[in-house]
Structure formats: C-alpha cells, structure tokens
Structure 1
Amino acid sequence: GDLSALEGDQWDAVVDTCGYVPRIVRQSARKLVKSVNQYAFISTGVVYSDLSQPGFDESAPLHPRPRSKGDAVTPDTYGPFKAECERVIDKLYPDNALHVRAGLIVGPHDPTDRFTYWPVRVARGGRIAAPVRPDLPVQFIDARDLGVWLLNRLEAGDAGAYNVSGPEMTLTFGKMLEACQKVCASETDIRWIPEELLKEHDVTPFREMPLWIPEDSPSAGLLRMDITKAVESGLFCRSLEETVRDLLRWNAGRAAGYQLQAGCPPEKEQALITAEERARTG
C-alpha cells in the first residue's frame, strides 16, 4: 500500500495491531524508524514453538524462520509469521520494541465470539454442555485491560516481550461459568462432558466448544502461559462479572437474528448431554 502519508510526522509510539505478514510489517516498520520513539507490536502466544505444556514464559523458544515463501496466513503459518514479525521489528528497533504476546482477547466488539458464546449461552439457561471438568484452567484478557496496560508500558518507555493474558490469578472453567451465572441470574444445569465424548462426537475445539483445547493437543498449554512478568509490571484485570455484563449488553445490540460465530450447535449439545448421562448412569 501507499505509505507516503507516514512521512514527515513524529509520534511518541506506534501500536501495530494488525501485523501478520513479515514482508508487510517490514515495509511499515521501516517507514516509521525515524518518526517514532517506540514500536509496540501486538503479537501472540502462538509465537512459541512448543505449546504442548502449560507455564511457558517469555524465554521459551520461538518458531524458527518460516519456510513458506508466500504471504498466506493459515493456522500453520500464523505463529511462525508472528515470530518472524517480531524479529523484523527487533532488527529495526533494537532498543525500543515492545512485543505483546497476547492470549485470547475478549470483550465487547469481539467478532470471533469465542468467549462471548459462554455468557450468551448461560443467559439462555437450561442444560449446558461444558468441557471436561470444572477445574480446567482457562486464560483470556479483556481488550480494555490489555489497552490500559499497554499504554502504561509505553508511557514508562518499556521494551522487550511480555506474555499478556488474564486474570492475574488462576481461573477455572467452573469459576468462569459461575461468574456468568451470577450476572445472568439464570437457571442452569452444567453438564461436564468428558474429553473422550467430545472427541467421539467430533466437537471442534475452540469453535464448537470455545476455550476447550484437548489435553493431547500440540496447543494444550496455550491458555495457561506464565504471565508473571506482565502482572509484576502492573497488569490489572477488571472483574470477570464486569466483562460478562458489558459483553451481554453489547451482544444485545447486534442485528436481529445474528448467529454467533462460535459455540456448540443446540442439536450437538443435546447429543453430548444425552451421551454423558448414559455414560454416567450406565
């Protein structure tokens, strides 16, 4: 694209929210070298080469240079491309690059509905199919909390890499659904579906069962990264109830008949609940 509009001005910082392709990131980042004091890049936890185990911190190895010669962003190239984008920026901004390795970003205006599904589903009430067990750890961060933390880091002149997700303390699936129930005041019956039944019914992780990643998945640790560095630098997450409340308010204003982009189809959910009851009662 035409980057000439970036010439001649000065800014305290740039926040690159949509850099996915190294070639394109290199073009814009190079154009701004003499114009900005700091370059903040919204990266992802998927930059790490091994996501199979929880608890990885910022020192974990990144994906090596992508093998792909093209620019197509796919599930296979997404992580390697983001890692290479970080390296591109580091080369141009060796002392003032800030890499935000974000977890799942949620909140009002999230078009993916990967978290939104759960408050909306709990608000509807009834029997709900949930993944595996109530003590299953989950991680995500309200986009507004991420934004506040990032501005504070830029004002402090910070650089380096941070894993940024939330909340500050360990959150479980059960506690998350309890927060949704507290806000919605709905009558629900949560049914915890064993992983083997989810697989038998071909439930798609993250899409049909949002926030669920199978224990044997190469990405099993993705929603359990170590965020100690971000917390110690001042990361603060609003209450889950506030995020849920604001999400439901925003979702209510969507177009009539809007279909969520993620979540378990009703007929599949009922089949899972029936299978769980049969397995439990024999």
Structure 2
Amino acid sequence: MRILVLGGSGFVGRSIAELAAARGDDVTVLNRGRADPPPRVRALTGDRQTPGGLDALGDATWDAVVDTWSADATVVAAAATALQGRAGHYTYISSRSVYVLGEDRLVPHDEPGYAGDKLRGELAAAGFGGPLLLARAGLILGPYENIGRLPWWLNRLHAGGPTLAPGPRDLPLQYIDTRDLAAFVLDAAATARTGPFDLVSPPGHTTMGELLDITNEVTGNHADLRWTDPDTIIAAGIQPWTHLPVWLPPGPLHTALHGSDVTPALAAGLRCRPVRETITDTWTWLTSLPDGAPHRADRPAVGLDPQIEATLL
C-alpha cells in the first residue's frame, strides 16, 4: 500500500510509519522535520499550522492516510479537504476522551481542551468524504512514548529504594501498546474498515500490581514497593494520573478509563500483546537513548517529587 502518515516522527505516528515500512508498504510522512524519520520512509517537511503547510504533498495519491493531529481541528479539516479524491481511506487517531465521563454519549462540540479538540478533529476528518476510521484510543503505552507515564515508572523503579506503590494491587488496568494500535489501524486501512472503534486492551488485561512488579523485575529489582491505600495517597495531596502516572483510584474516573467494552474492536481484529512485552520493549528503548525519553512540549510533566514520596512513606 501507499500510505501517508501526517506526523510520523513521534510515538503513535512513528509506530505506524515504522510498522508499515516493515510490512513492505510505500510510506510517506509529513511533519515539521524536528526528529529523524523512521528508516525506509519518504520524509516530507511541512508545518500544518501555517499557510502552505501541505504543499510538500504536491498532487500525489495514496491508498491510505493516517492523521495523528491532536490539537486545533482546523488543521485536520485542511488535510481532509486537501486529500479528497486523492486517497482511498482516512484514519484519524482520536481518543476515548471524546466520551462524557461514565457515559456512552459524546462531549459537546464546544467542549474546551483535549476532549473537545479530539471530537472536533473527528468531525473535521469527515470532510475527507470517503471511507473514514475513527481510532478512539485509550491510554497508550510502549516504545517511543513522549508523554512520560511508563518511562517515569521505569526510571523510578530502576532508581530503587522504598517506593510508593499506589493500591490496590489488584486494580485493573486497560491500555493499548502503540504497536498494537498501529497494527489495527493499518489492517483496518487495508480492508477499508470504517466507523469509530474504542481501541484499548480488554478489561483486566493487567493490574497495577502486575504492572509494577514486572517493571521492577525488568529494571533490576531495585525497588522496595510499599503498597499504599488510595485514601492515604489522596490525603497527602498526591494527584492521581499526574504525580503517579497511569494510576487512578477506584471510582467513576477509573471505571470510565479502565472499564471499556472493546468487543467490537476485538471482533474487528484488535490483538493486544502481554504487558511484560510492552514493559520490556519500552525499557530496552528507553535505555538506548543518551538523553532520556522525549517529552511533548504541549503536555505537562508527570511524576512524584522524591521528597513528597519519602515524607509519605
């Protein structure tokens, strides 16, 4: 297939471009050129937020387009309109954040922030006018992560010593490995699959205990995990998700993020690798980087201040 990835140098976009090239597809990526592209792809430079940002595409055609944009939806609208009649299929990488917390309905069209941007991105992608897949991903982990969630835990447990482990140990987690997301998207493009799909592992794919136990093992068993109940953590002013990445205490928000029914996606071919593989491969990638994991400038830093952790323990 001839595939165009709008993005293609970081995290999900890179995983898609890399897998497509490994499968033998003819891959083109368009981005601002701030990072080296994956091997065996054609790299075009363009800033989609500026006039003429798509000019490098010329009049070329593709079998499939994958758009990873996550901010202002006018950028998605411009690409979808420009590629009308020039591609056989369009995928927009969206998010399960488009749902109202704990409900099956979507957030309002004027919802501010990330959720609203993703929903408006979905609506803008419809301007493509052809087969459209909306990939509503949940928590994404794996190599190339530039948000910092799993990399933070890997580095923290490698540092070792008494380590705050947020309980309960059997707290179920759902996420999707970036490479499994890439495989679903590429397979769906090849079969012209359309519609929205919630893309995350089945409920109970892993637990907080398994995630941290394997992370500790993979990084050398340096950490003494001190499992702590959620009320104690919250009372100490420690913020779920940001101070302790991935973790949310039991409650409505946790249920919304980690209680998804993904039966349609599984029936459509979604396959999720074991959590050990995701952790091991992310650690291998992370330790290969001379300057540590990259971090997106538009996302806040995550992680717990060592002194706050020590005080609570």
Q: Note whether the superposition's TM-score is higher than 0.5.
A: yes
1:269 aligned partner: 309
Determine whether 1:21 maps to 2:72: yes
User: Deviation at 1:160?
Assistant: 0.5
Q: Which runs of no fewer than 5 residues in structure 1 stay unpaired?
A: 68-75, 274-282
Moved more, 221-230 or 179-188: 179-188
Match of 1:36 among 84, 87, 92: 87
SS in 2 for 1:166: coil
Q: Within 1, Cα distance between the matches of 2:191 and 2:294?
A: 42
Output one character per residue of 1:162-205: Cα deviation in whole Å (capped at 9) or x when no partner. Answer: 11112675321112122223433415432222222222221122
Q: Which runs of no fewer than 5 residues in structure 2 stay unpaired?
A: 1-49, 296-300
Aligned-residue Cα RMSD (Å) equals: 2.5
What is the correspondence of 1:182-221 to structure 2 with a 5 Å cutoff?
A: 182-216=217-251, 221=256
User: Deviation at 1:77?
Assistant: 1.9
Q: Within 2, Cα distance between the matches of 1:226 and 1:119?
A: 29
**Number of aligned residues:** 257
2:35 aligned partner: none
SS in 1 for 2:80: helix
User: Deviation at 1:146?
Assistant: 1.0
Equivalent AA in structure 2 for residue 150 of structure 1: V
Q: Within 1, Cα distance between the matches of 2:74 and 2:291?
A: 40
Q: Is the contact between residue 139 and residue 167 of structure 1 (CA under 8 Å) also seen in structure 2?
A: yes
User: Deviation at 1:217?
Assistant: 6.0
1:73 aligned partner: none
SS in 2 for 1:221: helix
Q: Is the contact between residue 203 and residue 260 of structure 2 (CA under 8 Å) also seen in structure 1?
A: no
The percent identity for this pair of structures is 31
Q: Within 2, Cα distance between the matches of 1:47 and 1:219?
A: 16
Q: Within 2, Cα distance between the matches of 1:219 and 1:171?
A: 14
Equivalent AA in structure 1 for residue 279 of structure 2: V
Question: Against the structure 1 CA distance between its residues 268 and 88, is the aligned structure 2 distance closer, same or farther, given a 3 Å change threshold?
Answer: same
1:9 aligned partner: 60
Q: Is the contact between residue 91 and residue 135 of structure 2 (CA under 8 Å) also seen in structure 1?
A: yes
2:19 aligned partner: none
What is the correspondence of 1:215-230 to structure 2 with a 5 Å cutoff?
A: 215-216=250-251, 221-230=256-265
User: Deviation at 1:19?
Assistant: 4.0
Determine whether 1:88 maps to 2:119: no
TM-score by length of 2: 0.74
Q: Within 2, Cα distance between the matches of 1:134 and 1:106?
A: 20
2:286 aligned partner: 251
SS in 2 for 1:61: coil
TM-score by length of 1: 0.82
User: Deviation at 1:131?
Assistant: 1.5
Q: Is the contact between residue 173 and residue 204 of structure 2 (CA under 8 Å) also seen in structure 1?
A: no
SS in 2 for 1:245: helix
Q: Within 2, Cα distance between the matches of 1:169 and 1:66?
A: 33
Q: Is the contact between residue 6 and residue 32 of structure 1 (CA under 8 Å) also seen in structure 2?
A: no
Which structure has more RCO (C-alpha within 8 Å, separation ≥ 6)?
1
User: Deviation at 1:48?
Assistant: 0.5
2:213 aligned partner: 178
Determine whether 1:48 maps to 2:83: no
Q: Within 2, Cα distance between the matches of 1:159 and 1:77?
A: 26
